[in-house]
Homo-oligomer: A and B are copies of this chain.
Amino acid sequence: MARAVERIPAKLAKRAKQIQVLLMDVDGTLTNGEVTLLSQADGTALEIKTFDAHDGQGLTIARTAGLRTGCITGRESPALLRRAREMHMEFIYQKQPTKIPAYEEILKNAGVPESAVAYVGDDLPDLPVMQRVGLAVAVGDAVAEVKRAAHYVTRAHAGKGAIREVVELILKSKRIWEEMIDKARA
């Protein structure tokens, strides 16, 4: 479930308030980590992905607040594409065997310094990007190595409000969360 961000340490707030671009991994970060496959009569299988309603609302709030959002993933699916578009993601990189090339392309296109980028991940392939961005976040059920590399570990698990919690962390650090709440309820 989504967990409210209560107090933000000064050092963390300093990192978070500089963020202009919020990037994330997909499986196990934006989804709940389940890789679900539907067997077809013709011998193939279709992929099912499970996202979280609170995360979606959070990414909508992020966009209203002017944050630019995106994802970098090794897999590829119409499910992700539909969900990413529903949440108005600007940067969508699929089929990336490693994540640095996409990350550097986003940096260039967005025209922001690395200190203005946050990245949320859960597993080993996320480490290279996490070691470069201004705010590295691990979801609550990330593997141990990723948690150790993060500036912040969410209390929520992946696909259960982790992304919402990151949005709240950033917007509260920028002191614009309350204003966004008012807009969201309008």
Q: Which residues of A contact B (CB under 8 A)?
A: 1-2, 4, 27-28, 31-41, 43-54, 56-57, 61, 77-79, 81-83, 98, 122-125, 127-128, 140-141, 143-145, 157, 159, 164, 181, 184-186
A144 contacts which chain B residues (CB < 8 A)?
A: 2, 4
CB distance from A43 to the nearest CB of B (A): 5
Q: Given contacts A27-B53, A57-B124, are A143 and B4 in contact (CB under 8 A)?
A: yes
Nearest B-chain residue to A99, judged by Cβ: B185
Q: Once bound together, how far apart are the Cα atoms of A145 and B4, in whole Å?
A: 9
Q: Given contacts A45-B79, A49-B36, A79-B45, are A54 and B181 in contact (CB under 8 A)?
A: no
CB distance from A159 to the nearest CB of B (A): 8
Q: Given contacts A51-B36, A78-B45, are A141 and B57 in contact (CB under 8 A)?
A: no
